[in-house]
Structure 1
Amino acid sequence: MPKETSAIQVRAPYTKPITAKDFESSDDTSIWWLSSAGFLINSRGTLLMIDPVIAMQAGSDEICEIGHRLLVPLPILAADVPRLDAILYTHMDDDHLAPVTAADLIKTGGLYGGPAIVVRELERLGVPSRQARAFRIGERFRVGPIEITLTRADHAWPSQHPYGPEDCCGFFISTPDGNIWCTGDTRLLDEHMQMSEVDVLLLDVSDDPYHFGVENAVKLANRLEHADIITHHYGTYHGPELPPFNGDPNKLAPQIARSENRYHILAPGERFVLTNKERLLLRPVSE
């Protein structure tokens, strides 16, 4: 049976716009939450997006391209992204791989990457085959100074054709300033608890049986006791009856060791900077 959810959804903190300046070369590695499960990473001028869903339904300023009303605005639209070196997808659920965004980002010149099933879908959506590459779990590849390794995910939710073991993934991203782990949508696996040298954990806090769920999200966060944590997969789409869209990062905070120093509930478009492995959260100063 589906888990019951609250009739009142938790909203993400109000959005801060991502601007053209955020795509410029820099001396550090920065991370922005795009809302939902999406992220932008700028590592010394090398630009990655993970699972971006950043386009609106034609003619609407409230309904996103996948048909859900937004609880908070998007920090940037795909059509306004000036350049990318890679666009990475963990799997092909539409709240991770959305068709308008995927098509709009072709012009950035970035390499599209992910599991084989994802790449086939991207090519069906019009991404040129020369601009897309499939990877297997455990495979490593480089984008500029960044090394990326696909990690295993178990997201075999009961659709008509459940995802297989090579159809979903996470990304372990090694930058000059530290290591970022995006787990993807997944239940907790034994090998997740063996991960190490994670400087920033992008933590799914949705309360869904085919994701970590609160108890296992806390367990992983406390196993990676030295990692900064950025919460996601909540507070974006209206859908109080849909567990994947629901979660409350504030409920996890009291259970996470040293949460006051490393647990970050960012707004979409808010910048987190990892510089020389020093963890620094930059928040705009009120004028």
Structure 2
Amino acid sequence: MTQAKAERIAMTAKDFEKTAGTKVYWLGGGGAMINSRGTVILIDPLLKGFDMKILTEAPLLPEDVPHADAVIITHCDNDHFSKVTLSEIKDRIDSVHTTKYVAGLCKEIGIEAEGHDIHESFMVNDVKITLTPADHAWQNDSPKHSALRHYEMEDFCGFRIETADGVIWMPGDSRLMEEQLHQEPMDLILMDISDSRWHIGLPGVEKMAAAYPDTPLLPIHWGCVDAPEWKEFNGDPEVVRNMIVNPERLHVKAVGEAYEL
């Protein structure tokens, strides 16, 4: 199988400085950074220490992060909950927010995190963030993982992020849910385009794109891990472009490249 490969643009301390508007950066894989008028929020940052071969490197290393107002984490998979990354940036982040289960995992590695319920909201400066539901309990299908713990729906989430310049939705890793098709309007969806059965999958991408026909889409979860046999890490924006309504709103960005609301 041939993989689509993401391009990469290095990020610098300048990307963390106060801005006039809101910029969204894909950090590679399922991660992103938002800089909203100087409020910096890292979503599922995996900047170092992944246990698979990398195709496209992260746009910066943990030591390149000068400061973040918050880290928000969707779930416990190690391509989203990076213990190495969090441990190396913990002294330069003001807060960590996630589900209650993942907050407990953070505590185990010496990181204080606030755990939230699905649909609960919290503030990071003047940015309002609400947990949205996600269906990604693949561990319950695994004899190895299910023997240790039964995973609940509330252990996984997405985030609706309301800034002064617009609303960003990170659905997180999730099979398509009916509730996800009936959200309030948003100004950008960070769209997982991998075709795995425990992710939204291409039929789900098509349905979600149709549910929000005018919303810009920034494809993520593709082109960064050198694993052609793993659907979870693959996807091709050009395949998606050919199957969604209003394909001109698909904004394919390099890892580390800014999208401005």
- TM-score, structure 2 length as denominator? 0.95
- 1:138-217 alignment, distance < 5 Å: 138-157=119-138, 158-159=141-142, 160-161=145-146, 162-217=150-205
The letter of the residue matching 2:60 is I
Cα pair 2:71 2:93 within 8 Å, conserved: no
User: Is 1:9 matched up with 2:9?
Assistant: no
SS in 2 for 1:21: helix
How far is the alpha carbon of 1:52 from its aligned partner?
0.5
Offset at residue 73 of structure 1 (A): 2.2
C-alpha separation in 1, matches of 2:43 and 2:225: 18
Q: Find the residue that maps to 1:47 and give its secondary structure.
A: strand
Q: Measure the CA separation in 2 of the matches of 1:266 and 1:68.
A: 23
User: Which residue pairs with 2:256 in the alignment?
Assistant: 269
SS in 1 for 2:253: coil
Mapped to 2, the partners of 1:252 and 1:202 lie a distance apart of 14
Deviation at 1:196?
Answer: 2.3
In the alignment, which residue of structure 2 is the partner of 1:136? 117
Q: Deviations over 1:258-285 (max 9, x none)?
A: 212x1111110011001xxxxxxxxxxx
Q: Does residue 19 in structure 1 map to residue 12 in structure 2? A: yes
Contact 2:171/2:191 (<8 A) preserved = yes
Does the aligned pair in 1 maintain the 2:129–2:160 contact within 8 Å?
yes
CA contact (8 A) 1:155 1:163 kept: no
For residues 219-238 of structure 1, what are the structure 2 equivalents within 5 Å? 219-238=207-226
* Structure 2 residue 98 is the aligned partner of structure 1 residue 114: yes
Is the CA contact (8 Å cut-off) linking 2:26 and 2:253 kept in structure 1? yes
Partner SS for 1:181 = strand
Taking the aligned partners of 1:70 and 1:40, their CA distance within structure 2 comes to: 20
Runs of 5+ in structure 1 lacking a partner?
1-6, 56-64, 275-287
Q: Is the 8 A contact 1:115 1:134 kept in 2?
A: yes
Q: Secondary structure at the match of 1:225?
A: coil
Residue type of the alignment partner of 1:181? W
Query: Which sections of structure 2, spanning at least 5 residues, go unmatched?
Result: none
Cα contact 2:27–2:58 (8 A) shared by 1: yes
Supply the RMSD in Å over aligned alpha carbons.
1.0
Q: Within the alignment, does 1:86 sit opposite 2:73 as a pair?
A: no
* Structure 1 counterpart of 2:82: 98
Confirm or deny: 8 A CA contact 2:8 2:57 kept in the other structure.
yes
- Matched with 1:62 is none
What fraction of aligned residue pairs are identical, expressed as a percent? Answer: 38
SS at structure 1 position matched to 2:153: coil
Q: Return structure 1 stretches of 4+ with deviation > 4 angstroms.
A: none
* Shift in Å, 1:40: 0.5
Q: Would you say the 8 A contact 2:45–2:85 is kept in 1?
A: yes
- Alignment partner of 1:218 out of 206, 212, 236: 206
Q: Is the 8 A contact 1:196 1:224 kept in 2?
A: no
